Chain A
Amino acid sequence: MILEAKHINKFFLAPEKQQVLKNVSLSLNTGELVSVYGESGSGKSTLLYILSTLDIDFSGGLEIYGQNIKELSSQELPDFRNKHIGFVYQFHYLLPEFTVLQNVMLPAMKLNKKNKEEVRDDALVLLDELGVKEYAKRPSYKLSGGQQQRVAIARALINDPSLIIADEPTGNLDQKNSALIFELLSEITNYKNKTIVVATHDSKIYKNSHRTIEMIDGVIRL
């Protein structure tokens, strides 16, 4: 088991007090592709932010890799995230000041386990696997949406994290690119033995994932 969440409750205080997550418990195993689907406002994004340790303002327990997230200080939390969790967003969010290659290298440079040349080689291998190696030297904003999303996946993989969290990764892409991204995610789970949690509206994704979790009004149905 790589992740275990127990009885998670989450409230939004503004504009008015509202319970977004109601007693959510779930556990994830290594090598699983799990999709979370539900209407917008159902709480699936909120759940993802909590699972990815970005939002720690909740009640209940969350253990990732046997580490109780609530026990990490605000200094340790970013390091933990850097090491163990990769993140892919709906709007790819590459840093426009940096080249494609630099974007992929940034998390590894933060981790500082390998020297710059090794990091560069790792990044190029990933970019190659994801089919965007030829754009490595380009400024990231000059790529198309589908290409940018593939770069973002490479960035999420660079530190070889066990858990990858993707928030509507195909939400902003056309059919062809969506299919491509989905295939990549499946391959990553199957061949790289990662656990991937995907929040999505995309029926193709949730029908083809190992497990689906439906969220309705802050409650999950496994």
Chain B
Amino acid sequence: MSIQVFNRTNIFIALQYLSVRKRQSFLAMIGVLLGVTTFIVMVNFMTGVNDFLDDAVFNGSPDIIISATSEKESKNRGFVGLAGISEEKRNRIDSILKVDQNVESYAHQIASPAILISNSKQFPGSIQGVFPIQERTMVDLERRLLKGKGFQSLSKKNTILLGVSLANRLQVSTGDTLKMIVPNGNTIQLKVSGIFSFGITTIDNIRTYVSADILQDLLVQEKGITNVHVKLKNRDNVRLKIALTSAVDAIDTEDWKENNKTIVIGNKVRDILTWSVSFALLLVAGFGIYNILNITVIQKRKDIAVLKTIGYSSNDIVFIFLVQSIIIGVLGSIMGGVLGYILSYLISTTPLDTSDFIIVETYPINFKISYYILGFSFGVLTTVFAGYFPSRKASRVDPVHIIRGL
């Protein structure tokens, strides 16, 4: 289509047609508006949930966990021995992790089953002994603290950090003391120095941090560790696992995808849902425009014939009709974007009655400008596409045929 069809006269004619059919044009616009609004609200909400879960689960957990192969067996034998990673293996693992380009940071841990006892309750679980300086590079606990202090408080002896649900179950708060018993019967008094929440009940229910030194002393395992946690720069690239297992004997590696299958699948399902529902709605809006323009073209065959006899070319006619659908599309998309933002904002301020699974005060919503650009482009593209076919049909009207009255 040449540039000369884009002129004031053709736009004037298009606007005149639109303004005469205000109601129909308005309804077509509402169709686009609803499509774009739904798209934006859904994308904002679904990616909001995805990002929230990513942040809570994946940033709260390591991307790869390295453990000794026999650890599970020893656990099954009733918490007696503790299968650690020997110092020699640890050094080999460290040397690989240090040079790997994709490793963001890593930390050693010693984990042990233990029973926590407060004044009124007791709770059996797995305790993580961490090296505070290393662990701070892995988990941003400061952001998730509800009370007390983070990892730096573990440098003082005899302190423990608890997940908020666990603290509630034990009926303790910061400053209270707990007794911890490890499988070999040793016990220790610990002071609660911090309470944190990841927003995910499954984590907040069981996670505890103590200093690795304490656990090593209690278990009489000087310098012993059971796991190495690794945080990756690009989480989707887990080839590091292969390098590790082939270089070091008798270790297991687990990545975040294996450990969080349900969440990974949940994210995928939400993505598919978002795109398919939005696409379906825009398709319906597109059909609405197609329909309206098609009927207009059929009703206006005489007018199109007249325009052609007085010198308007086929391209002019295509343009005149296409401009109508573009105007509908652009206005509908802009209004859809605004309404989408308003609804998203309202949802983001709506209190959420938390389930057991996640702990969050309001619905997580993602406000990204790129979603608005995408929604707008979608809306306009749909209308251009839907408008093109009736417009082409209009341009093919044969004036002789019409004037003859056939």
Interface residues of A (CB under 8 A from B): 45, 49, 52, 54-55, 74-75, 77-79, 81-83, 87, 89, 91, 93-98, 102, 106-107, 109-112, 155, 159, 167
The reply to whether the CB of B260 lies closer than 8 angstroms to some CB of chain A is no
- The secondary structure that dominates the B interface is helix
User: Contacts A97-B17, A109-B9, A109-B12; is A49 near B400 (CB within 8 Å)?
Assistant: yes
Query: Can you sample 17 A-B contacts with CB below 8 Å?
Result: A52-B309, A55-B400, A74-B314, A78-B308, A78-B312, A81-B310, A81-B311, A82-B312, A93-B303, A93-B403, A97-B17, A97-B303, A102-B16, A106-B9, A109-B8, A111-B311, A155-B310
Flag B1-26 by CB within 8 Å of A: 1 or 0 each.
01000011100110011001000000
Task: Name A139's closest neighbour in chain B (CB-CB).
Answer: B20
Are B310 and A110 in touch, CB under 8 angstroms?
yes
Q: Tell me which of A75, A91, A106 contacts B313 (CB under 8 A).
A: A75
Chain A residues positioned under 8 Å from B392 (CB to CB): none
Specify which of A77, A98, A110, A112 lies most central, judged by the most chain B CB atoms within 10 Å of its CB.
A110
Q: Is the CB of B310 within 8 A of A82?
A: yes
Q: In the complex the two chains form, what is the Cα distance from A3 to B2 in whole Å?
A: 31
Pick the residue among A49, A78, A110, A159 that contacts B9 (CB under 8 A).
A110
For B16, give its contact among A55, A75, A97 (CB under 8 Å): A97
Cβ-defined partner of A107 (8 Å) among B12, B17, B310, B404: B310
User: Is B311 touching A110 in the complex (CB atoms < 8 A)?
Assistant: yes
A54–B312 Cα distance when bound, in Å, is: 12
B residues near A107, Cβ cutoff 8 Å: 310-311
Q: How far is the CB of A84 from chain B (nearest CB, A)?
A: 10
Residue among A77, A78, A82 with most chain B CB within 10 A: A78
Which single member of B8, B302, B311, B399 contacts A83 (CB below 8 Å)? B311
Evaluate contact between A82 and B17: CB separation under 8 angstroms.
no
- Chain B residue numbers with a CB within 8 Å of A94 are 306
| Cβ-based interface call for B56 (8 A) | no
Residues in chain B near residue A55, CB distance under 8 A: 400
Per the bound structure, the CA–CA distance linking A77 and B405 in Å amounts to 23
| A107 vs B399: C-alpha distance when bound (angstroms) | 16
Q: Chain B 274-305, CB within 8 Å of chain A: the 1/0 string?
A: 00000000000000000000000000001101
- Give A167 to B8 CA distance when docked, in angstroms: 31
B145 within 8 A of A: no
Closest 4 CB pairs of A and B: A82-B311, A78-B313, A109-B9, A107-B310
Determine the chain A residues whose CB is within 8 A of the CB of B310 once the complex forms: 81-82, 87, 106-107, 110, 155
Residues of A within 8 A of B399 (CB): 54
The residue that B7 contacts in the complex, of A75, A91, A95, A112, with Cβ under 8 A, is A112
A93 to B308, CA, bound (A): 12
Q: Within 8 Å CB of B306, what residues of A? A: 93-95
Q: Could you say which residues of chain B place their CB within 8 Å of the CB of A82?
A: 310-312
Q: Which of A79, A82, A93, A102 has the most CB of B within 10 A?
A: A93
Of residues 304 through 329 on chain B, the ones whose CB sits less than 8 Å from some CB of chain A are 305-316
Chain A residues whose CB sits within 8 angstroms of the CB of B16 once the complex forms = 97-98, 102
Given A45-B404, A74-B314, A95-B303: A81 touches B9 (CB 8 Å cut-off)? no
Return chain B residues, CB-CB under 8 Å to A75.
2, 313, 315
Instruction: Please give 20 more A-B residue pairs, beta carbons under 8 A apart, in addition to A78-B312, A82-B312, A110-B310.
Output: A54-B308, A55-B400, A75-B2, A78-B313, A79-B311, A81-B311, A82-B310, A82-B311, A87-B309, A93-B306, A93-B403, A94-B306, A95-B306, A95-B307, A97-B303, A102-B16, A106-B310, A109-B8, A110-B9, A111-B311
With contact pairs A49-B400, A110-B9, A112-B9 given, residues A81 and B309 touching in the complex (Cβ less than 8 Å): yes
Question: A106 touches which one: B7, B305, B307 (CB < 8 A)?
Answer: B307
Looking at B315, B316, B400, B405, the one whose CB has the most chain A CB atoms below 10 A away is B400
Digit string of B378-400 for contact with A (CB within 8 Å is 1, else 0)?
00000000000000000000011
Chain B residues within 8 Å of A89, by CB: 403
Measured between beta carbons, the chain B residues less than 8 angstroms from A83 are 311
Q: Which residue of A lies closest to B9 (CB)?
A: A109
Closest CB-CB distance, B7 to chain A, in whole Å?
7
CB distance from B395 to the nearest CB of A (A): 11
Q: Report B-chain residues with C-beta under 8 Å of the C-beta of A109.
A: 8-9, 12
The residue on B at minimum CB distance from A107 is B310
How distant is B325 from chain A, measured CB to nearest CB, in Å? 17
**Residue of B313, B315, B403 touching A167 (CB-CB under 8 A):** B403
Which partner residue on chain A sits nearest B21 by CB separation? A97
Beta-carbon nearest neighbor of B2 in chain A: A75
Q: Is there contact, CB below 8 Å, between B9 and A93?
A: no
For B310, B313, B316, the residue with the greatest tally of chain A CB atoms inside 10 Å of its CB is B310
Q: A96: which B residues are within 8 A, CB to CB? A: 303
Smallest Cβ-Cβ distance to B405: which chain A residue? A91
Are the CB atoms of A79 and B313 closer together than 8 Å? yes
CB distance from A205 to the nearest CB of B (A): 19
With A49-B400, A55-B400, A110-B9 as given contacts, are A97 and B311 in contact (CB-CB < 8 Å)? no
